[in-house]
Every structure is written in C-alpha cells, then in structure tokens.
Structure 1
Amino acid sequence: MLFKRKALALVVWVMLCGGALQAQDGKLTLSVDKIMRDPKWIGTSPSNVFWSEDGKKVYFYWNPEGNKSDSLYSVSADGKNIRKVSAQERKNLPSPYGDYNRAETKKVYEKNGDIFLYDIKSGKSQQITNTVERESNPEFSHSEQKVTYIKDNNLYAWSLGNGQTVQLTDFKKGRKPAGEGKDAQRDWLKEQQLSLLQIVREREEKKEEQKKQRLAEAPARPKEIYVEDKSVNGITLSPGEQYITYQLVTRPKNAKVAIVPDYVTASGYTEDINTRTKVGDAQNTYEFFVYDTKRDTVFAVLMNDVEGINDKPAYLLSKEAEASAGKGAADGKTKKAEARPTVIYGPFWSENGKHAVVVARSQDNKDRWILKLDPATGKLTLLDRQRDEAWINGPGIGYGPGEIGWMPDNEHVWFHSEESGYSHLYSVDVNSGKKKALTSGKFEVSDVRMSDDNKNFYFTANKTHPGEKHFYRMPVQGGDMVQLTNMTGAHEVAVSPDEKNLAIRYSFSNKPWELFVMDNKKGAKPKQVTQSLTEEFKSYDWREPENIVFKAKDGSDVHARLYRPENAAKNGPAVVFVHGAGYLQNAHKWWSSYFREYMFHNFLVDQGYTVLDIDYRGSAGYGRDVRTGIYQFMGGKDLSDHVDGAKHLVEKYNVDPNRIGIYGGSYGGFITLMAMFTEPDVFAAGAALRSVTDWAHYNHGYTSNILNTPYTDSTAYAKSSPIYYAEGLKGALLIAHGMVDTNVHFQDVVRLTQRLIELGKDNWELAVYPVEDHGFVEPSSWTDEYKRIYKLFEENLKESKK
C-alpha cells in the first residue's frame, strides 16, 4: 500500500511539473518538456518559396536534416527532382527580388550591396557595381536604356549602351554656405580701385572671363540640394527623366528613447539597449519635394488645399465642444484649424508615363488620400479619400502606401479600401475621379498582383470562410472570382514566370506547412513536394480543433477554436487562450504561428481540460468593424468577448463556471490582466505573459492609432490600462516576462509588481527570464514558463473553487 501511494505521488508530481509517462505502444505522450524543445523536433517546414527566372524550378528554404540552419533546395516545376542547391550554385543565383524590363527578358537586382543585370534567356549576370559602399533599389528607367540605383542617399543612372554612370542628385548634409554679404565700405573701396587703376580693372576682367570659360567647359552636374540634418527617402525618377521626387524626414531632437538594461552579457557588465520612444512623444515629420532638372529648381508638394486636411478627429472635436460648453460663450473668435501633418508616398507612374499618383496619410492615421500629382506645379487632385474616426488599416492598406497599381488603359488606378467595411479592390479614373468597386462581399482581399498580359488580377481572399485563404483569378474590370485552390486551410502562392504553374505553401489546422505544385487551372490537383514532419511528431494524433461561432452580448458573431476531451467530464475545467499581436487571426483553419500553444492545448485536453481560443474584437480577418472594435477602449469588447466565451463554455460544453482559467502573451497577457482584475468572478486563475500593463508606456505607432495619445485622450488610457485595476485581483495570477524585452519593456511588470505590493495582494507570482526578449528563444525558458502555467491551472482549476 505504501508503494502504491508513493507511485501515485510520483505521477502527480510529474504531472504538476509538466511531465508525462511515455505510452507503452510507442506513440508520443505529450509533456511540457517534449512540446517546448527546439522546434526542429517537429520538422522544419519549407519557407521563402520563389521560382527560377526561367520557370523551370522552384526554390525554397528547408531543413529536413535538422541542421543548425536551413539550406536552399530546388524542385522541378512538375514536383520532381528535389535536391539541395550547392554552395556555388546558390552564390551564382540572382536575387529573387528586383525589377524587370517590360518584356521580362532582363532583370536588375541587388546582391551583397552591389547591382547586377541578369539576362533571363542566357542565364548570365553582369555586375554593374563593385564597391565598398552599398548600392540598392535598382530599377529600369522608363526608356529601359538605363538602370537607376541609390548610393550614399543619392540617385545614379548606369547606361546599358555605353556603361557610363551619371549622378542624378547631389543631396548634401548641412546648410548651404552663405555667399559674401553686402558691405558698403568694402564695396566703395573696390569701386575706387577699379576706377583709379587700369591694371586692377584688366586683371578683374580676365578673372571673370576665365571663370565663364571654366563654367562653359564644365560637365553638367546635378543641383546641390542641402538637406540640413534631415534624411532623404524615396528618391524616384520620372519616366521623362525631368522630375526627381523625394521625401525628407526630420527626426525630433527632444524625443526621449527608453533604455532596457541587459544583465546577462559576455562582458560581465550590465549593458544598456536603446529601444524606442513612448506613445505621445515627439515623432518624425515628413516633407515631399520635386526637383525639376530642366528648370534646375526644387519645390515642396503641399497638402494645404486637399479636402479634409484640416479636419480634426471626432474625439478632439467632442473634447473642444465640452470645453467650450464649460467656459460658456466664447469671445466670438474662431481659431482657424491647421493642416494636419501628413506623409506622402510615391509617386506611382502610369506605364505610358503620362500620369502620376501619390498616396498620402495623415499622421494621426484618420485619413488616407489617393491624389493625382502634376509634377510641373506640385498640384494635387483628389481621387479618393478614406476616413476612419478609429484608424486606417486593413489588408492591402497597412500603414504605408498599401497595394496600388495602374490598370492596362493607363487612365485608371487600382487600390484597396475598407469603404464597404471589408478590404476590397477598387479602381478610379484619374481624369474624372469616377470610382468603381471591383470586388465586394463580407470577405477580405489581399496580396494582389496583375497577370503579365494585364487581363487578370491574382489575389488571396477568405471568401469561403473567414478562417480559410484561397487563391483567385479575376478579370481586371471585375467579374467572376475563379477559385484556383481547393484544399481546406491556407495557401501562400507563387505564380511561375510563364503563369502556367503555381508553387503553393499550404497548411491545415493540424498539419504544418508543406510545399505543393500544381497547374494554374481551376480544378487542378496539387502535388505535394515536401514531407517535413518527423516520425515522432506524426506519432501523436494531433487534434483538428472545432471552428465555432458564438454570440457576444452585443449580438456580434465571435469566431473561436475549440479543443474538447472526447469524454469530457461534467463540470470539468477549461482554459481560455488569448492570442497576441492585437490585429492577428488565430481561430482559423491553418497551422498556427502559435504552434507551441497549439501543442500545449492538445496536452491540456489530454489532462481533461476544454480549451477555447478566441478571435476577439480587434482581430484580423473579419473586416473593419471587428478590427476597430477596440478603439478608445482596449479591455472593452475584446475582454467581454472572452467573458462571453467563458459563458458559452458553461452553457454548452458542461464546463464548471468556477474552474475557468485564462492565459496569453503580449496583447494576450494584457487581456489576461484585465480579466483577472476586472472580471475576477469569471476567471479563477490567469497567466499573463510579456504583458502590457500601462498603454501610456507602449510605442507610438501601434498605441496612438487605437487610444490616440495620453495627453489628448487620457480617459482612453486610464480605461484601457490594467495597472489602474489591480485592486480587483481575486484569483491566482502568474506574471512572466523577459528582462530584455525591447517591445513590451520589463518596466511594465516592475511597476505593476510595486502596485500589487502596495495593495497587499499575495495571490500572485512573478517569473522573470533574464536572457529573453519579447519572443522567447531558448527552449529552457519556454519549458519553465509553461510548466508554471500548467502548475497554476492544475492547482487552481482541477478542484472547484466555490
């Protein structure tokens, strides 16, 4: 009896530490230690897929042998003859990135900081530059007789005909040297000398003649443009080569950069890492210029007359209205609204060289304009304005210029817009401004490219289901979307140069990414090229999570992944997982980037837990309203979605309401803290990993879009930051954070720790990881963290906490 008790105690101890006993049938029995090993134990999926320039091979990075790093492999277009590429062949390969001439017979590219010209028919490269300095951004000129590139922040052109290199811009740091100033006394003396002494006059006249001769004989040089301490970006040559456009960036001198101490270093000393500013600090400013080479003049392109440039965001107008109402009647004077700071991207020139458009974005990210540019005058003509009182984003839109291009007629531009509530393709006539929707529906379009014959678009869309990504072909004027892929899951597709074949990286929810090839035809059968998984990984029967939809309290549909034990006990325990990144999708049907968590959820189900993984408000894949559902209140609808998810588990899946835990990292860690502090009766235990505790200390680019800035919208920050709610903690809380996290700084949890100490809370613990950044790297760190998470759930959820 004593032996049996000891054996049972050993099993319990192993389970609490994340261990598991090996199955007797030789199949893998999951444990935290096994899951969190170096991911090579799973197998390494192919990545970075690209076609050879002649379309005969597909190249990809792969590591079937489990080496320290991936190797380059190739396979023929029909999926045969897979082989590792030799070091010499790899060295001679052109870069997969670059610019093609219109006939696609030549390509220019950068490799190792030098520029090369590649002849596709012969397969030979010609090296254009060979310097210590880096040359980058090579492009064919519109005439295709030159190759332009950037070197030392200046634009150069190399002639295909005679090999001559010409410098096209001369940007210089600092201020232009001041000329000789006027001085009445000195001018009088000089005039006296010239009038009195003939030899002086003759010598001065000779010097002037020599100066004129030197200037006449000197080769043409670009205009010296002094940029002070500003940076030069986006240098672009117009098709006619008369105009050169560029952007100047001014970095603020008074911005304060946060420092993260690195304690574990080779030197033995603590070393400081410069990271980023905090939200609301001074930001870069941007200017856009045209250099007219024929007129030898430079002028700025201004947004002052563009529709909406002075429009303030709604949240500021409401605050101003409240302030005015509080002060009573004003003095009758109305302050003129100032033009908001903007960033201009482009220009994007039509194929015939007649038209140019730019994309402009307000720096508060409430507006995005597509504008026709007259380079001779700098005049801007509005073609499309998208305004969002939350913030502009979405597939094909992003935070820069987004995906944009010219239609075959050279009179229409295609672009993305969320005007309908979902990111879709539109075209606009650059002469009349007439706009047309090319796609529509409750789905999103992304990764758009035009076919070489300019007759069709290729793109990815989640039309069949929000959690599936398929590849489509559609006529450029809109019409039927022909679905070319058909396997359930997600497809990342590279089209062959002749557009006859597709190379596809495909995965399903319980099957990691593999490489397939298929004909570029509807209904064609894909052929699997790679077999990447290890026998050990395949020996476990990985679950296909159920994709479910439940109703939030406001009536919205919420998508989620559900993992259930086959014979779930009545009133059993459950765990809710919160994905990170904010704008990310995880309740989908492809292999998750959270693969460790996916495996951990399988392990939890083996131990009797039900697991729910929610695409809460703010997640990607579901359109604008879901994307912006967290505006001015993170921890609002995104948290209530998790509370409603917990309620759904109780009502439909026999989960004990007193035995529900929650965990997640980054944004998921933030939601976990908000859940434990503001919904303490819903979640009995929570693990907050690398979590934001106070949004006023996060970065500007992400946070200001959602919460504006702390000094203009302090209420949004107070509502959204867990540190203000710490007194609400009731359940058991685990906080885990890397000490060299340069994204969410360790300072976040240090400040929260002090707050919990001052509040007298004793039901929490802090686990620190001295060598880890935001994304953990070391298997030992992953293992330690998830053993603690598992122990937290075992100790607090396995018995009812009534």
Structure 2
Amino acid sequence: MSKKVLLYFMAFIGLQQAYAQTSELTVEKIMQDPSWMGTFPSNVSWGAHSENIYFQYNPEENPSDSLYRINIKDPKKIEKVSWQQQEKLLPEHGDLNDSENKKVYTRNGALFLYDFKNQKERVLLELGENISAPQFMADESKVSFILEHNAYLYDLESGHIQKLTNIETGSEKEKHEKKLSEQDQWLQDENLGLLAEVRKRDEEKKSREAYRELTKEPEPFTYYSGEKRIMNMQVSPTGDHVSFQLYTSSKSKDTEVPDYADLSGYTVNLPARSKVGSEQAKLETAIYNLQKDTVYLVKTQDLPGIKDLPDYVQDYPDKEWKEEIREVYTNGPYFSEDGKKAVLVVRSRDNKDRWITLLDLESGALKNLDRQRDEAWIAGPGIGHSWSGGTIGWLNDGQTIYFQSEETGYSHLYLLNVNTGKKTALTSGKFEVFDPFLSKNGKNWYLTTSEVDSGERHFYQMPVRGGKMEKLTTLTGNNEVSLSPDEKYMAIRHSYSNQPWELYLKKTATKSEAQKLTDGQSTAFKTYNWRDPELVKFQAQDGAMVPARLYKPTAATSNGAAVIFVHGAGYLQNAHKWWSSYFREYMFHNLLTDLGYTVLDIDYRGSAGYGRDWRTGIYRHMGGKDLSDQVDGVKYLIEEHKIDPSKVGIYGGSYGGFITLMAMFTEADTFTAGAALRSVTDWAHYNHGYTSNILNEPVNDPKAYRRSSPIYFAEGLEGDLLIAHGMVDVNVHFQDVVRLAQRLIELGKEDWEMAVYPVEDHGFREPSSWTDEYRRILKLFNEALLD
C-alpha cells in the first residue's frame, strides 16, 4: 500500500470514528418545550407575617406557572394558592410606618390600611379613580397619595382629604380660549355682521364677563404642564413640597417590523424602536413649593464639569466642538426620613457623568456631593441608568446617604455625610456588590457580593457603618435570597452549574443549615449525567486573564474539533457556577461534547461580573478586544488541549451573533465555520440606549461605528457561514441581515446560507424553531469541521 493511499485510509477511518460518536441527547430532545426538564421556582416572596414562602411553580404541568406556597412550620408541603386566596394577600408594594405595624397600599385603585397586630385590612378610600403611590407622612397621622396628576393628603383620624397641588395638563391659554376652526370663525363673523340683535347680545355677554373678571377673587395658583407628561409624583414627608418629573417625548422616527404571518392574512407592521442617534425623550424634575404656592425646575446648569467634552473629540480635529451645557436626566429626589433634606441623582445624557447632589428644596439649586465620570460610560451593579437612580437612600440619622459607585473599578457601597462631605467606603476589593438594603432596625446591611469568587454569589450581613461581613449562605453557586419580614429566615433560590434552580429555607445565621424545599427535576432530565463545566482562565494577547467555561470530551471520544460559544446581551456573565440562562445552549454543549467536540464559552471583554475596566474594554470598538478574546481562546485550545487549528467553529446569538460575523469576516485563518443568530450587522441601526453608551452617536463618532460593524468587513468571508434570524424581531431587526445578505450577494460570496423564522421575535418561542435552528448549527459544524 502506497504512503498516499495509507494516509487517505487513516484519514477516512478517523472521520468515520468522529461521526460514530453518539449521545443519548438529540437536538429534538433538548430543544423541546422546557417543561420536559421539570418545574423550577421563580419570583420568590414572603407572606406579611413571615409564615409562608410564595413562589411561581408548575408541578401540575399546566400551560403556565401558578402561585404556590410553603408554610415554614410544614416545609414538606407545597400547596397551590387559589385565586380567591391571592386576592386577599397583602401586596408587596405600598409603604410601612416607622414601627412597621401598619401598611398603606392600593388594590384595584382603592386605598387600604393594614394593621399587622390585628391582621385586619381596612378600606380608606374608593374614589372611582386609580389612587397610587400612598406614603405615610413623617408624623404618621396622614397619608399622601396621587390621584391622576395631583397630590393629596388623607387624615387617618378624621378621614378628611386635602388637595395639595393644582396641576393641569395643557396650557392656560388653551383652557380659556377655545379657538374656532377657520371655517367656523368665518361663519360666526358673518353672523355678527348680518344680525344686529345677535351682535348686541354678544357685546353684552363680553361686558358681563369683563366685569366679573375685574371683581372676582384671585384664582388659586395652577401649574400647567403643557405638552409634558407628569410622572413620579411624591410628597415630602413633611408635606411642604411635592416633587414630580416632566417627561417630554421625542419626535424621532420609529422603525416598523413587517409581520408576514399575521392572523389577519395581511402584512401588518409592528411598531418598534428608533435608531441610535435619534432625538431622545427629556426628563426634568420640578418642585411644587406648597408654602410659596409655586413650581420651579431643578437647576442643573452649574454642576461641575457639565460642559466637559469627551476625550474622543480628539479623533476629529477638523470638526468644531462647542463647550455647551450638556442635557441631563434627573432621578429622585430621595427625602430623608424627617423630610428636611433631599438628594437628587443627575446623569448626563451622554452617560459619561453621574452627580449625586443635595437639593435645595426652596430654590431648586443643587450642591454636588459626588461626581463619578467615565470616559467610556457610567454603569455597573447598583449604579442605575437614565431612568433609575440605582442604589441610593438615607441612614436614619438624617445626614448620611448611601450609594454605590465604581470609583475603584468595582461597584462598592459608600456612605457620605451631606453636611461635611466625608465619604466612606463600606466595601472594597476586586469584587462587586449587588442589591444592598438596610435591616429593619437600621443597624445592619444585607447585601449580595461576588467576594468568594467572580463565579459565585453569596448573601452577607454587615454593620451599618462598615466592618466584617458575615456570610449567611453556604451553598456553592448562586444564592438569590428573599429575607422574611421578621428577618429570621431566608428563602434561598439556589442553583449550581449543572443543577437548575431549587428553593431552600435557612435561618438568618452563619451556622444554620439550608433545608431543600423543592425538587423539580423531571425523571427524564435526571437520567442524563449533565456536565459540570470546568472554569478556566487563559491569557489574552494584552496580558489579561480571560475567564471561560470549558466542556472537554474524553481522550477516547475527542475529534480534535472545537466550538467557541459567544454569549449574547453584551453585558452578561456566563462563565459562572450557577444554572445558566442559556440552558438550551448548555444542553447543546453537552451534546457537542458527547460527539467529541471541545467547547469553550468565554466571558469576553464587555461581560458582566469583572468590574469597570472589563465592562468598558469594548468602548469605541466592538469587535476589538471582545473578538481578540475569542481568538486567544482558540490559541489556548490549540496549545493546551490539542485542538486541530483547521477545525474550529464559532456561534452565538444577538451580540454573540455579531461577534460570530466579525470572526468570520476578519479572522478567517482562525475560524472555519460560524453560525450567526439574530445578529447585529450594523450598529448604526441598533437602539440608542445600548449603543450610544459604547460607540457614542454615529454623527459624532463615525469611526467607532465603521470599525465595529460587520457589514463593512463582509469581503473577508472565507469559511462556511450560517445566518439565522426571526422575521418579527423587534430588537435586532430582520432588516439587519437583509442588508448583509445583499452585501454578500454583491460581493459574490458563495459559502453562506440564511435560515429565516417567520413567526419568531428576538428570543425564539416555538420548539420547532429552536430545533430547526440547532439542527442546522450541528449540521454546519459536522460538515465543515469534520469532513
């Protein structure tokens, strides 16, 4: 036998062995309705008296989850809550008094008061209109509430209602002047000219109205909002001020997404979003001073750095940049318990600055307390966004606020004395803090952190002024804790890498044991030995250590091929020790590993969980470090796990689809095949809120968009590419891949195909669609990487 024939024969045998690998998993099995896996608890909460844990569950395999509960005195019994029982449950929204023995809340538009001691509910008000936002006043004898767009007080003893504000929509002119149409005005003028008696009566009427105007009592002050919408109204604890926000909608052009499979049989256009760089809505904060009977807007023009230009303007020396007062969003105010002080969170519209300010309630002026600036963009756990202030509030001393900041590069919890300006970090280190809140007595913090490991979440208790954190959870993975109202117990929703979410009960103490309350996995799901992927780190070309999940076949089953998975959402973490939100992909990776593939799932630059610098590593260049991290991951697999350089595929959805396209277009020597699902192909066509943070606006920073959009690099395609997209995707529009397809056609590219899904949005719903998509992905890798 010649050497050439022998080599061919050995290659043929190797290929047969690769295809011969089998798995008890199939695409059809793992992509069916997720109910086959079992039922798992979600939306965990406590009853008002710390006796019952409530959660969404579905052991009866109904079309959707229902509300269930477990009484902690009989934790082995899970019972369904009837709709009649649900109607009687105390709502989670509302406001507690300082003693926490009474609560005000609304139900079906009516105002209620609940007495915890007597466990009785009392209807306070039913006005036929929706009452909202009830709050106890500082002396607790009155309750404020909002009705339509005005604030009221309700006296709990007398039942007297007092209207505090007088706000009307539209303008004063519109109220008093009813302008006639041109046609009706012509008819009226003709009538007055022709009929003397009609003209006489009109003149007499005007004289009477003029006399009444001169002799009437002055009208009460009324504030007219014009075309602006009233939002987020609240009464200060003292009842001296009412704050509200004025929302001005944008007039930007929105896109429409055609639905070709509408029930009507006609093509129906679905309303979607505008594109990045379009005009944005405005949000202003106003103060209604009840003592002075006037309204004034909060003044932001004197904030430090309000005119600062971003660093990227240096890349455009030929463009004239004006130092102007930047537009901002305001959140709050957040009142101290006594109502004497208030802080306001201000963010620049370009999201490069966040100011925490002390608000002068008598003038609307602001005093800066803390400015956080990031030349990329402000974000991170507890930091909030344009429409949210994030973690912020007051300690009960009336002079100290708390908030989160990425000042050190990781989101941590801070205190700041508004009188002295002294700022104190309560937590520090290369980890992040999530969802801190104060204990009932105000002496301790409860908070979740990643201190143990970036891939774990644990719940802690810490003294209010800082000190040692006591870890209250012990289970490895993610611990989502719902604390009982009396703070004696924790309901823990826990999961591990290969174990979906289950519910546990544990006393709020370090040494107590967690008791498992649910076991929702189906028998079919339990029969497979789901892998616990190895958490690894490899070195990137810039020296950074990149975290990833590694799925590795045995030496006997390995086919020498590898698949890189790129998670979506941009700011999301997937290389962790808990059950992934990408559970279908997790199961698919188990299937691929059974078939001999090595799979690497990378938390590339831009992912959550690793601090500010990791998050902003993609600033002004998507497809830069986030893509080179994938390339470096391949190098790691080749060097450490004996992967054949010619047998590497890549796939992902949404942001993962975008990275896949960039990989196939610009890294042809690294990736042989790729499946790009629901992909962004041109960032200038995506939304404003997400894209403008990372790439600024197209008209101001076109270079960032040009180097970040796959459609500009399509000529680099050499390998096999699958493009898959839902046609009614109102997030990443189908138009994205239509434009790319035309570009590929014009470039004469051959080794690509497109699969379209007429009834699917961004996140697929139908098992048949999931199955079809992943059969195509598996076929792509089998044919392109194993032939």
Q: Given the two structures, how large is their TM-score scaled by the length of structure 1?
A: 0.89
Alignment partners' CA distance in 1, 2:359 and 2:50: 38
Alignment partners' CA distance in 2, 1:671 and 1:439: 35
2:128 equivalent to 1:144: no
8 Å contact from structure 2 (residues 45, 55) kept in 1: yes
AA in 2 matched with 1:264: A
Would the alpha carbon gap of residues 320 and 543 (structure 1) be closer, same or farther in structure 2, given more than 3 Å must change? closer
Give how far 1:319 is off. Answer: 4.1
* 1:268 corresponding residue in structure 2: 265
Please give the secondary structure, in 2, of the residue aligned with 1:737. strand
AA in 2 matched with 1:152: E
* 2:548 corresponding residue in structure 1: 560
Alignment partners' CA distance in 1, 2:94 and 2:33: 35
Cα deviations across residues 592-617 of structure 1 (Å, max 9, x unaligned)? 00000000000111111110000000
2:43 equivalent to 1:38: no
Alignment partners' CA distance in 1, 2:644 and 2:173: 77
Give how far 1:721 is off. Answer: 0.2
Alignment partners' CA distance in 2, 1:122 and 1:486: 37
* 1:49 corresponding residue in structure 2: 44
Would the alpha carbon gap of residues 204 and 312 (structure 1) be closer, same or farther in structure 2, given more than 3 Å must change? closer
Give how far 1:353 is off. Answer: 2.1
AA in 2 matched with 1:283: Q
Would the alpha carbon gap of residues 293 and 210 (structure 1) be closer, same or farther in structure 2, given more than 3 Å must change? same
Give how far 1:20 is off. Answer: 10
Please give the secondary structure, in 2, of the residue aligned with 1:378. coil
Alignment partners' CA distance in 1, 2:714 and 2:130: 52
* 1:676 corresponding residue in structure 2: 664
Give how far 1:176 is off. Answer: 1.2
2:97 equivalent to 1:111: no
* 1:90 corresponding residue in structure 2: 86
* 1:244 corresponding residue in structure 2: 242
* 2:60 corresponding residue in structure 1: 65
Give how far 1:114 is off. Answer: 3.7
User: Which of 161, 164, 171 is matched with 1:165 structurally?
Assistant: 161
* 1:189 corresponding residue in structure 2: none
Greater mean alpha carbon deviation, residues 264-273 or residues 501-510: 264-273
Q: 1:594-743 to 2 correspondence within 5 Å? A: 594-743=582-731
Greater mean alpha carbon deviation, residues 73-82 or residues 336-345: 73-82
2:376 equivalent to 1:380: no
AA in 2 matched with 1:306: L
Alignment partners' CA distance in 1, 2:210 and 2:335: 49
8 Å contact from structure 1 (residues 583, 620) kept in 2: yes
Please give the secondary structure, in 2, of the residue aligned with 1:499. coil
Greater mean alpha carbon deviation, residues 518-527 or residues 233-242: 233-242
8 Å contact from structure 2 (residues 21, 595) kept in 1: no
Give how far 1:475 is off. Answer: 0.7
* 2:733 corresponding residue in structure 1: 745
Alignment partners' CA distance in 1, 2:77 and 2:595: 44
Give how far 1:659 is off. Answer: 0.4
AA in 1 matched with 2:33: D
AA in 2 matched with 1:714: P
Greater mean alpha carbon deviation, residues 70-79 or residues 788-797: 70-79
2:158 equivalent to 1:135: no
Give how far 1:203 is off. Answer: 9.8
What's the % identity of the aligned pairs? 56
Alignment partners' CA distance in 1, 2:659 and 2:220: 56
Would the alpha carbon gap of residues 71 and 178 (structure 1) be closer, same or farther in structure 2, given more than 3 Å must change? closer
Would the alpha carbon gap of residues 612 and 167 (structure 1) be closer, same or farther in structure 2, given more than 3 Å must change? same
* 1:328 corresponding residue in structure 2: none
Structure 1: gaps (5+ residues): 1-11, 24-28, 182-201, 216-220, 325-334
* 2:253 corresponding residue in structure 1: 256
Aligned-CA RMSD value:
2.4
Structure 2: gaps (5+ residues): 1-14, 178-206
8 Å contact from structure 1 (residues 77, 501) kept in 2: no
Alignment partners' CA distance in 1, 2:208 and 2:456: 83
Alignment partners' CA distance in 2, 1:798 and 1:477: 60
Greater mean alpha carbon deviation, residues 370-379 or residues 105-114: 105-114
Please give the secondary structure, in 2, of the residue aligned with 1:276. coil
Alignment partners' CA distance in 2, 1:204 and 1:469: 71
Would the alpha carbon gap of residues 111 and 762 (structure 1) be closer, same or farther in structure 2, given more than 3 Å must change? farther
User: Which of 562, 572, 575 is matched with 1:574 structurally?
Assistant: 562
Would the alpha carbon gap of residues 568 and 340 (structure 1) be closer, same or farther in structure 2, given more than 3 Å must change? farther
Would the alpha carbon gap of residues 629 and 542 (structure 1) be closer, same or farther in structure 2, given more than 3 Å must change? same
Give how far 1:222 is off. Answer: 6.8
Q: 1:387-402 to 2 correspondence within 5 Å? A: 387-399=373-385, 400-402=388-390
AA in 2 matched with 1:551: Q
Alignment partners' CA distance in 1, 2:59 and 2:374: 47
Give how far 1:673 is off. Answer: 0.3
Please give the secondary structure, in 2, of the residue aligned with 1:590. coil
User: Which of 72, 80, 93 is matched with 1:77 structurally?
Assistant: 72
* 1:349 corresponding residue in structure 2: 335
Would the alpha carbon gap of residues 117 and 288 (structure 1) be closer, same or farther in structure 2, given more than 3 Å must change? same
Give how far 1:179 is off. Answer: 11
8 Å contact from structure 1 (residues 570, 654) kept in 2: no
* 2:226 corresponding residue in structure 1: 228
Alignment partners' CA distance in 1, 2:690 and 2:376: 12
Alignment partners' CA distance in 2, 1:60 and 1:626: 35
* 1:793 corresponding residue in structure 2: 781
Would the alpha carbon gap of residues 270 and 165 (structure 1) be closer, same or farther in structure 2, given more than 3 Å must change? farther
* 2:346 corresponding residue in structure 1: 360
Q: 1:104-503 to 2 correspondence within 5 Å? A: 104-130=100-126, 133-177=129-173, 211-212=216-217, 223-253=221-251, 255-316=252-313, 318-319=314-315, 321=317, 323=319, 337-399=323-385, 400-503=388-491
Cα deviations across residues 659-709 of structure 1 (Å, max 9, x unaligned)? 010000000000000000000111111000000000000000000000000
Please give the secondary structure, in 2, of the residue aligned with 1:139. strand
Give how far 1:385 is off. Answer: 0.3
Give how far 1:56 is off. Answer: 1.1
8 Å contact from structure 1 (residues 168, 222) kept in 2: no
Alignment partners' CA distance in 1, 2:752 and 2:381: 40
* 1:193 corresponding residue in structure 2: none
Give how far 1:395 is off. Answer: 0.3
Would the alpha carbon gap of residues 53 and 654 (structure 1) be closer, same or farther in structure 2, given more than 3 Å must change? same
Greater mean alpha carbon deviation, residues 238-247 or residues 390-399: 238-247
AA in 2 matched with 1:555: G
Alignment partners' CA distance in 1, 2:288 and 2:610: 43
Please give the secondary structure, in 2, of the residue aligned with 1:657. coil
Would the alpha carbon gap of residues 320 and 653 (structure 1) be closer, same or farther in structure 2, given more than 3 Å must change? closer
Alignment partners' CA distance in 2, 1:115 and 1:738: 45
8 Å contact from structure 2 (residues 559, 596) kept in 1: no
Alignment partners' CA distance in 2, 1:583 and 1:150: 36
Alignment partners' CA distance in 2, 1:209 and 1:733: 80
* 1:535 corresponding residue in structure 2: 523
Give how far 1:486 is off. Answer: 1.1
Alignment partners' CA distance in 1, 2:143 and 2:378: 35
8 Å contact from structure 1 (residues 169, 222) kept in 2: no
Would the alpha carbon gap of residues 572 and 171 (structure 1) be closer, same or farther in structure 2, given more than 3 Å must change? same
Give how far 1:236 is off. Answer: 1.8
Alignment partners' CA distance in 2, 1:710 and 1:203: 60
8 Å contact from structure 2 (residues 21, 557) kept in 1: no
Give how far 1:113 is off. Answer: 4.0
Alignment partners' CA distance in 2, 1:180 and 1:497: 52
AA in 1 matched with 2:503: L
Please give the secondary structure, in 2, of the residue aligned with 1:629. helix
Alignment partners' CA distance in 2, 1:204 and 1:172: 23
Alignment partners' CA distance in 2, 1:613 and 1:208: 76
User: Which of 493, 508, 532 is matched with 2:496 structurally?
Assistant: 508
Please give the secondary structure, in 2, of the residue aligned with 1:580. coil
Would the alpha carbon gap of residues 205 and 598 (structure 1) be closer, same or farther in structure 2, given more than 3 Å must change? closer
* 1:7 corresponding residue in structure 2: none
Would the alpha carbon gap of residues 597 and 140 (structure 1) be closer, same or farther in structure 2, given more than 3 Å must change? same
Give how far 1:121 is off. Answer: 2.3
